[in-house]
Amino acid sequence: MNYRRLGKTGFDISEISLGTWQVGGKWGDDFSHDNAEKILHAAVDAGINFIDTADVYGAGESEKAVGKFVKSRSERIYVATKCGRQLSPHVSEAYQPAVLRKFVEDSLQNMGLETLDLIQLHCPPTEVYYRPEIFELFDRLKDEGKILNLGISVEKVEEALKGIEYENVTTVQIIFNMFRQRPAELFFEQAQKRNVGVIVRVPLASGLLTGKFSKSSSFTEGDHRFFNRNGERFDKGETFSGIDYETGLAAVEELKGVFPAYANLAPVALRWILQFAAVSTIIPGASNPEQATANLEALRIPNLSAEQCAAVNGIYEKYIKPQVHHLW
């Protein structure tokens, strides 16, 4: 495993880490603590030392599983969670310091921890980034020993750029992949200037970039790839990176021609992301232990050549950019 510095946190974390949105099993299935435990052990046994969760994943069961697991291991494992998405309606006015404090305290209790390594605002409405009192709360929580660091998880590049103006924001979690390239234009440069860690989520565009899907692929009703293709439940960009499914399939077919040696494109897609120096870690998800360790194949393959990178960019320009580049 290779490790990178997570910005101002000072943490040295695994280049490929673990996101736990579906750690209890496949999307839509009941949460399995047995499955979660197996995935977490497989990940840490392989050298992963950073785990990302949220209070809403598995209705709190993901946090419970992560907390129990971390206490069972002797290694230093960095835990990141998120708060804010429990709010309903999810509007700026609902974000109040007292409410957010309660969320942080609930997460600590849920995980059985005394301090959170990293608490992230969970894709708040854009207006929240213009409310200093929200960010000031986390300075107080740090002084009280309840958190070590504040981060933000964002939908839009503009939110990231505004968020890192707050000195206490140490990390930004953002969607970035072969089919979502805009963060590399300006945000990465600014993050590096401010020593802000970059956590990349949705690195495989909800599995699209594995190359395993086809027009006949089906998804269960509880899977966001079934119910959120047009942003019915949350931001459309979280599902297939906001790309029309058919367009995505056509782009993936061309990618396969660029990388004929790979039956599974996932390692190539992850390697592409790691070639950006601003990236601190990638947090692909896993619904079984094999997926958690298969992602690490990206660490064993060579960097993409200049010709391959140019081909990837050409496919992005042809299929993807007109649809999504201006939106996020």
pLDDT over 70 for what percent of the chain? 93
d(CA 196, CA 328): 19
d(CA 250, CA 7): 37
Listed in order, strand segments (DSSP E) in the chain are 3-5, 12-14, 18-19, 50-52, 78-83, 118-122, 150-153, 169-175, 197-201, 281-282
Crossing angle of helices 61-72 and 97-111, in 10° steps, is: 50
CA 209 to chain centre: 15
| CA distances for 282 relative to 6, 53, 257, angstroms | 11, 13, 25
Tokens of 40: 């977490």
Number of structural domains the chain divides into: 1
d(CA 165, CA 172): 12
Asked whether residue 156 carries a pLDDT value surpassing 70, the answer given is yes
**Per-residue pLDDT, 96:** 98
Q: Which residues span the domain enclosing 76?
A: 3-324
SS3 170: strand
| CA distances for 13 relative to 157, 164, 177, 267, 293, angstroms | 23, 20, 20, 19, 16
Which amino acid, one-letter code, is at 258?
Answer: V
Torsion 214-219-224-226 (CA) sign: positive
pTM: 0.93
Residue 29: CATH number of its domain: 3.20.20.100
d(CA 320, CA 39): 33
Tokens of 43: 């990940």
Mean pLDDT across the chain: 93
Q: Tens of pLDDT along 85-110?
A: 999 999 999 999 999 999 999 999 99
**Per-residue pLDDT, 184:** 97
Segment 150-168 mean pLDDT: 98
Angle at 297 between CA 318 and CA 222, to 5 degrees: 70
Segment 32-41 mean pLDDT: 95
Cis peptide before 289 (omega within 30 of 0): no
Asked whether residue 200 carries a pLDDT value surpassing 60, the answer given is yes
End-to-end CA distance of the chain: 31
Segment 138-156 mean pLDDT: 98
d(CA 53, CA 69): 13
Asked whether residue 228 carries a pLDDT value surpassing 70, the answer given is no
- Percent helix, percent strand, percent coil in the chain, to nearest 5: 45, 15, 40
Asked whether residue 231 carries a pLDDT value surpassing 70, the answer given is no
pLDDT over 90 for what percent of the chain? 81
d(CA 34, CA 20): 14
